[in-house]
Chains A and B, each alone.
Chain A
Amino acid sequence: MAEPFVSDEELIAWIDGELSAEAAARLVEAIERDPALAARAAAHRRLAERMTTAFGPIADEPVALPRKETAPVISLAEVRAARAEAARTPRRWAVPGAIAASLMVGVLAGQQTMMVASVDDRSGALTLATPVARALDRQLSGEAGPIRVALSFRGKDGGYCRSFSGQHIDGVACRSGGGWELRYAAPASHAAGTGYRMAGDDVAKAAVVEQLIAGDPLDADAERKARAADWK
């Protein structure tokens, strides 16, 4: 007995839950009798599931409102001003060795002290969690996202570094061994939900950037190129 033709439109409506109970029941019966129809239904269902699986989790990632100030967390002007200031006055602290540099958490330029809780003092401990590393891999400065990248620059060892600001942590990370390693971190100053940043944190972070940076920060063009080359 020839089955009545079932259109893709009807199959899709069924998968989307848009058919009436009666029409859905008729369709289920038809599918049970017709393997070819069952295969078409399964293909449409797989597509729907792939879409849901791939896109669904995006809505679970928190996104912060754009900051009131549109400038990056650390502006080029601030960094340049800090460098000019540093050139006029003697360094208040000696350049630490490579090991000290990689543990530069909470080492500040004299004004205040800030420590990050729960960072183990062992090699590799400062490798960043995947969402942060992914943001550092792919986001350009100033783009919206759970993590916002503020500034990119070359470190004195030639590798790229980026300063960022997340829901819970503000930091500076540099490329190391194919990944990103944390060089500075502090609790995010906007964690209280105010949406505004406090100036003091930027001073501390700017001091770290100033310590690490070789030359000027990357402009938008250089940053896109660096991203295209996977920050190598």
Chain B
Amino acid sequence: MEDFEAALEAVLPRLRRFAHGLARNPADADDLTQATAERALKSREQFQPGTSMAGWAMRIMRNLWIDTARQRQRREGMLAPEEQGERVGAEGAAESSVELHYLMRALDRLPDDQREAVAAVMIDGLAYREAAEFLDIPIGTLTSRLVRGRQALMSLLGEQ
């Protein structure tokens, strides 16, 4: 059981990075990481020793994110769409963090299916075959979502 916690803790930084690919801002990414870790600790009986802790925890994260994304859509359906205010810390607002906010905002404009494909491959670094397996889609579907997501990001970010 101690092993389980150590293994989970070891993958948390990677999970948190993936969360930044899914969530709309760094605070939400940390919330998502926290919720994933809590759910993983609670569901530890379901983890099969010998399988990938990262893969298991990432699936938990994706499910949580899908649930919160649905809630978000319902909520936003009732509210006027609003540009997320760009808030950068008063202290330590390094350029890298400004760039991170900027990229996260662009990712937030993608449809969810393109966004998770982009996050799995470009942020988590999964190979196409692994990403397709993780998202439970055929590899051709993965590559087409990835390509459309990247094309959209390029035009959003002015990379032509």
Contacts and interface: CB of A to CB of B under 8 A. Distances in A.
Chains A and B come from one and the same complex: yes
A139 B27 contact: yes
Nearest to B5: A65
Contacts of B51: none
Contact of B37 (A66, A128, A142, A178): A66
Contact of B34 (A59, A62, A143): A143
A197 interface: no
B103 A137 contact: no
A100 interface: no
Given A55-B123, A58-B17, A133-B89, A9 B143 contact: yes
A106 B145 CA distance: 56
Interface in A41-71: 43-44, 46-48, 50-66
Category for how many chain B residues contact A = 35 or more
Contacts, number: 132
A143 B97 contact: no
B121 interface: yes
Contacts of B41: 65-66
Contacts of B127: 18
A144 B157 CA distance: 29
Interface stretch (B58-66, B75-83, B147-155): B147-155
20 contacts: A8-B150, A8-B151, A9-B143, A16-B128, A43-B160, A44-B154, A53-B99, A54-B96, A55-B21, A55-B123, A61-B13, A61-B16, A62-B13, A65-B8, A66-B38, A133-B89, A142-B34, A143-B27, A144-B31, A230-B87
Interface of B: 5, 8-9, 12-17, 20-21, 26-27, 30-31, 33-34, 37-38, 41, 85, 87, 89-92, 94, 96-97, 99-100, 103, 121-123, 127-128, 143-144, 146-147, 150-151, 153-154, 157, 159-160
Given A47-B153, A50-B103, A227-B87, 18 more contacts: A43-B154, A43-B159, A43-B160, A48-B122, A50-B159, A53-B96, A53-B99, A54-B96, A58-B13, A61-B16, A63-B13, A66-B37, A66-B38, A130-B94, A137-B91, A137-B92, A139-B30, A143-B34
User: Closest 3 interchain pairs by CB?
Assistant: A137-B89, A144-B34, A130-B92
